[in-house]
Structure 1
Amino acid sequence: MKRRVAITGIGLIDPLGESMGSFFDRTVKGESSIRHYATNDIPVPVSIPAVFCQNFNGDEILGKPRTISMDKFSQMGLVAAFEAWTNAGFDISDKSHKPNAGVSWGTALGGTRIYEQGLKEMWQNGRERLPPLAVVMGMNNACSSHIAIQLGLGNSSLSYTVACSSASAAIGEAYRRIRDGDADVMVAGGSDTPLIYGVIRAWDGMRVLSPGNEETSPNACRPFDKSRSGLVLGEGAAALVLEDWDHAVSRGASIIAELAGYGANCDHTNLVKPDPTGQVAAMSLALDDADVVIEDVGYINAHGTATIEGDPSEIEALRQVFGSHAKDLAVSSTKSTHGHLMGASGAIEAVITILSIKNGVVPPTANLKEIDPLCEGVNHIKVGDQNKIKLRAAISNSFAFGGSNAVLVFKSAQ
Structure 2
Amino acid sequence: MERVVITGIGAISALGIGADTNFTQALGAQSGIDLAQVDSAHHHIAQVAAQIRFPLPDLIKKAEAPLFDRVALLAWIAASEALQQAGIDPTQHDLTDSGVFWGTGMGGANTLEAAYVDLFVAEKNRVRPLSIVAGMNNSSASHIALKAGFGGSVMTFSSACVSSAQAIGEAFRHIRHGYAPRVLAGGSEALLTFGVMTSWEALRVIAFADPDDARRSCKPFSSDRSGLVLGEAGAAVMLESLSSAQARGATILAELVGYGTSNDATHMTKPDPHGQARAMRMALAQAGMGAAGIDYINAHGAATAAGDIAETTSIKEVFGAHAAALMVSSTKAVHGHTLGAAGALEFVLTVQALRTQSVPPTAFLTQPDPLCDLDYVPNEARLNQSVRAAMSNSFAFGGSNVALIATPFPNN
Is this a same-fold pair by TM over 0.5? yes
Look up the match of 1:130.
Answer: 127
TM-score (norm 1): 0.96
For residue 47 of structure 1, report the CA deviation from its aligned partner. Answer: 1.9
CA shift, 1:361, in A, is 0.3
Where does residue 358 of structure 1 map in the other structure? 355
TM-score, scaled relative to structure 2: 0.96
SS at 1:183's partner residue? coil
1:185 pairs with 174, 182, 186, which one?
182
* Closer/same/farther in 2, CA of residues 70 and 39 from structure 1, 3 Å limit: closer
Tell which deviates more after alignment, 61-70 or 232-241: 61-70
For 1:274, the equivalent position in structure 2 comes to: 271
The aligned counterpart of 1:86 is 84
Tell me the distance in 2 between the aligned counterparts of 1:125 and 1:79: 32
State the distance in 2 between where 1:35 and 1:388 align.
31
Find the partner of 1:110 among 84, 107, 111: 107
Q: Post-superposition shift, 1:14?
A: 3.8
Q: Of the candidates 222, 244, 247, which is equivalent to residue 241 of structure 2?
A: 244
Q: Distance in 2 between matches of 1:354 and 1:323?
A: 25
Q: Which amino acid aligns with 1:105?
A: W
Q: Which residue of 1 aligns with 2:169?
A: 172
Cα deviation for residue 265 of structure 1 reads 1.1
Q: Distance in 2 between matches of 1:331 and 1:163?
A: 23
**2-structure distance, mates of 1:38, 1:106:** 25
**Do the aligned partners of 2:330 and 2:362 also contact (CA within 8 Å) in 1?**
yes
* Matching residue of 2:393: 397
Q: Relative to 1, partners in 2 of residues 1:371 and 1:248: Cα closer, same or farther, differing over 3 Å?
A: same
Aligned to 1:28: 27
Is the Cα–Cα contact under 8 Å of residues 254 and 407 in structure 2 kept in the other structure?
Answer: yes
Going from structure 1 to structure 2, the CA distance change for 1:47 and 1:95 (only over 3 Å counts) comes to farther
The residue identity in structure 2 corresponding to 1:81 is A
Deviation at 1:98? 1.6
Alignment of 1:14-413 (within 5 A): 14-39=13-38, 41=40, 43-57=42-56, 60-91=58-89, 94=91, 98-212=95-209, 216-376=213-373, 378-384=374-380, 386-413=382-409
**CA 1:303–1:327 in 2, change beyond 3 Å: closer, same or farther?**
same
Closer, same or farther: CA 14–271 of 1 in aligned 2, 3 Å: closer
In structure 1, list runs of 5 or more residues that go unmatched.
none
Shift, 1:94, TM fit: 4.5
Tell me, in whole angstroms, the C-alpha distance in 1 between the residues paired with 2:56 and 2:350.
Answer: 27
Q: What is the distance in 2 between the residues matched to 1:82 and 1:214?
A: 39
Deviations 1:301-338 (A, max 9, x none): 00000000000000100001000000000000000010
- Stretches of structure 2 that go unaligned for 5 or more consecutive residues are none
CA distance 1:316–1:387, shift in 2 (3 Å): farther
The aligned length equals: 410
What is the DSSP-based 3-state SS (H/G/I as helix, E as strand, rest coil) of the residue aligned with 2:37? strand
Give the CA deviation at 1:154.
1.0
**In structure 1, C-alpha distance between the alignment counterparts of 2:381 and 2:239, rounded to whole Å:** 32
Secondary structure of the corresponding residue to residue 46 of structure 1 = coil
Q: Partners in 2 of 1:10 and 1:241 — Cα distance?
A: 6
Structure 2: distance between partners of 1:361 and 1:188: 24
CA distance in 2, matches of 1:282, 1:254: 30
More deviation, 63-72/107-116: 63-72
Residues 165, 346 of structure 1: 8 Å contact kept: yes
